[in-house]
């Protein structure tokens, strides 16, 4: 179950190579699009990486290839349900519009389905906080249109982008509108320490899931009131270990807030965030969680199984539970 994956952050080394071959004039090398094992970057440096990738992915053909490759790679890693998220982008130079951007991702999802790739994929339209409130409202309208026209492939809205830019209060009207029209909300909250006020406000909506939530609890400068709000609504957390360690918002794997929420029995879902940029995959994230926190195969199985209840596609949950029941004896003896 992969519930938190940004499309352009998930582009693998082999896809980057294909993109670089299409655009040799950009002089982009792989070291500029990925943060390798043992490397750390500041949050700001990480966000620069996305700018480089966006230069490489600027036509409909690129989006189609990238989305299909990413979906196939998640499937090859054993992911059976994927919620992809991406920020619709307009590119003047290539004529790509935001509407065509979303249509192309949807086309990629449909093509993978028709080709028999063994994975269910749903899409969240992303709001980049750097683009401000007005664009956020337009994005919500776009997301609503696609939710209605894609037969349920577009299921929600994501709020992401550089957490040090802007304030969540500006996005409240757009987020409320999204919620009211039936889009599920996954919000990046408290990814950096300075966001307690913003989280306090946005948790009142309330969101349907939380991305990261690194600094929600009092021990790291959050507050009991924030934790209480998350607990009251039983809002699942999407936790991305490698992303947080490489982006240096968490000092080491053993210090990751996964343990805080997991020990509390709170719905916690392990995700990749940006598997390409952070050179990881979902299996590796599960492996890391298991080895860091001394969890058994059974614990890990239960984690992935419980994630089914956190999807934004309730229509698929029964089918996924059935799949997990069938897969269990083929993987290991409990
Ligand atoms: C810098 C760092 C540690 C990244 C991980 N944490 C993140 N926090 C907030 N927004 C993100 C993160 N990773 C990816 N994104 C968003 O996803 C975009 C890339 O995917 P896409 O173009 O939306 O398809 C980025 O431009 C950014 O808006
Ligand atoms: Zn994210």
**Domain boundaries of the chain, sorted by first residue:** 2-306
Region 301-315 average pLDDT: 98
Region 179-202 average pLDDT: 97
Class for domain 2-306, per CATH?
alpha beta
What pLDDT shows up at residue 164? 96
Whole-prediction pTM value?
Answer: 0.98
What pLDDT shows up at residue 333? 65
Q: Which residues contact 110 (CB under 8 A, 6 or more apart)?
A: 153
Give the confidence band of 30 by pLDDT, cuts at 50, 70, 90.
confident
Helix (H) / strand (E) containing 324? helix 314-331
Q: Is 274 in the pocket of ligand 1 (CB under 6 A)?
A: yes
Region 95-109 average pLDDT: 98
Q: DSSP state, 165?
A: S
What pLDDT shows up at residue 94? 95
Residue 161's φ and ψ, nearest 5 degrees, are: 100, 175
- Between the CA of 326 and the centroid of ligand 1 the distance, in Å, is 35
| Paired tokens of 66 | 């990238």
- Active-site hit among 91, 191, 198, 285: 191
Q: Which residues contact 89 (CB under 8 A, 6 or more apart)?
A: 54, 58, 96, 98, 101
Helix, strand, coil: what percent of the chain each, to 5?
Answer: 55, 15, 35
What is the overall mean pLDDT for the chain?
A: 97
Catalytic residue flag (residue 191): yes
Q: Is 58 in the pocket of ligand 1 (CB under 6 A)?
A: no
**Rounded Cα gap, residues 124 and 326, in angstroms:** 28
Given a cut of 70, whether residue 42 has pLDDT beyond it is: yes
Q: How many residues does the chain have?
A: 334
Going by alpha carbons, the residue nearest to atom 11 of ligand 1 is 161
Q: Is 139 in the pocket of ligand 1 (CB under 6 A)?
A: no
Given a cut of 80, whether residue 332 has pLDDT beyond it is: no
Given a cut of 80, whether residue 250 has pLDDT beyond it is: yes
């Amino acid at each position: 179950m992969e519930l938190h994956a940004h499309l352009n952050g998930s582009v693998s080394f082999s896809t980057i190579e294909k993109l670089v071959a299409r655009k040799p004039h950009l002089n982009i090398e792989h070291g500029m699009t990925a943060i390798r094992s043992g490397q750390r970057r500041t949050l700001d440096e990480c966000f620069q990486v996305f700018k480089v990738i966006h230069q490489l992915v600027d036509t409909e053909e690129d989006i189609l290839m990238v989305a299909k490759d990413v979906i196939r790679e998640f499937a090859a890693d054993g992911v059976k349900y994927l919620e992809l998220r991406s920020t619709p982008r307009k590119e003047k130079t290539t004529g790509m519009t935001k509407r065509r951007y979303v249509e192309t991702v949807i086309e990629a999802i449909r093509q993978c389905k028709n080709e028999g790739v063994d994975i269910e994929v749903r899409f969240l339209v992303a709001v980049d906080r750097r683009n401000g409130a007005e664009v956020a409202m337009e994005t919500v309208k776009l997301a609503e249109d696609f939710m209605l026209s894609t037969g349920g492939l577009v299921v929600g809205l994501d709020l992401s982008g550089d957490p040090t830019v802007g304030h969540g209060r500006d996005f409240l009207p757009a987020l409320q509108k999204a919620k009211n029209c039936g889009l599920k909300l996954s919000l990046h909250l408290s990814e950096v320490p300075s966001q307690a006020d913003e989280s306090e406000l946005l948790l009142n909506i309330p969101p349907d899931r939380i991305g990261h939530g690194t600094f929600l609890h009092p021990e790291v400068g959050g507050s009991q009131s924030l934790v209480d709000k998350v607990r009251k609504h039983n809002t699942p957390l999407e936790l991305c270990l490698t992303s947080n360690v490489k982006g240096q918002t968490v000092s080491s794997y053993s210090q990751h807030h996964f343990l805080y929420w997991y020990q509390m029995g709170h719905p916690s879902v392990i995700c990749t965030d940006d598997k390409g940029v952070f050179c990881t995959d979902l299996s590796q994230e599960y492996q890391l969680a298991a080895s860091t926190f001394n969890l058994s195969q059974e614990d890990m199985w239960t984690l992935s199984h419980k994630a089914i209840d956190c999807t934004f596609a309730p229509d698929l949950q029964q089918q996924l539970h059935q799949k997990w029941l069938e897969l269990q004896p083929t993987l290991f003896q409990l």
